[in-house]
Amino acid sequence: MTGEEKDFFQKHYPDEFSHCYGCGTNNEHGHQLKSYWEGEEAVAVYRPAPEHTSLPGFVYGGLIASLVDCHGTGTAAAAAYRAAGRPMGTEPILRFVTASLHVDFLKPTPMGVPLVLRGKATEVKERKVVVEMTVSAGDAVCARGTVVAVLMPEAMRREVAEAGG
């Protein structure tokens, strides 16, 4: 099964929270990253477009950072639902935003192969989840990432709701 066919995390984001360039199913211009569980691991696969280069033949770091960011917040939400014993998407909505993002680039990431992100929630609190992940191209782990995600502030949630999504 591909991410498209799986019960991916982002499909459970409410409509007004689905506009993210990195992972929103309502953003037709964006990456539409899809993250799903494989046991305790959250996995996402992304195929860089030809223009996503740094140097010719290699993926640019900003794309990798974007994928780490969105896979991190998605995994944070999914892990929070798991911890709460609730199916993803049920009320009250648990939607996380990034407090901090860290990426270590271990080696140049080649173009032409799908990138595989594998993440684990290493800390799950009610308002804060830490997700650690790898980004691989084939057998090579090209980057490691850490996202500290926090439950979306109520003020931001209200502002989005008032904007009408």
Alpha helices by DSSP H, listed for the chain, are 61-84, 154-163
CB distance 41 to 136 below 8 Å: no
Of 7, 40, 47, 100, the one binding a copy of itself (CB under 8 A) is 100
Q: How far is the CB of 127 from a copy of itself (least distance, A)?
A: 15
Q: How far is CA 103 from CA 4, 50, 100, 146, 147, in A?
A: 26, 22, 10, 7, 9
Q: Out of 53, 83, 118, 132, which residue is the one contacting a copy of itself (CB under 8 A)?
A: 53
Complex with a copy of itself: residue 65 or 79, whichever CB lies closer: 65
Q: Decide if residue 89 touches a copy of itself (CB under 8 A).
A: no
Number of helices (H), then strands (E), in the chain: 2, 6
22 binds a copy of itself (CB under 8 A): yes
The reply to whether 42 sits near a copy of itself by the rule CB under 8 A is no
Dihedral sign for Cα 70, 110, 143, 59, please: negative
* Cis status, amide bond into 92, omega within 30 of 0: yes
Query: Could you tell me the smallest distance in angstroms from the CB atom of residue 82 to a copy of itself?
Result: 23
Residues that bind a copy of itself (CB under 8 A): 16-17, 19-22, 24, 27-30, 51-58, 60-63, 65-67, 69-70, 97-105, 108, 156, 159-160, 163-165
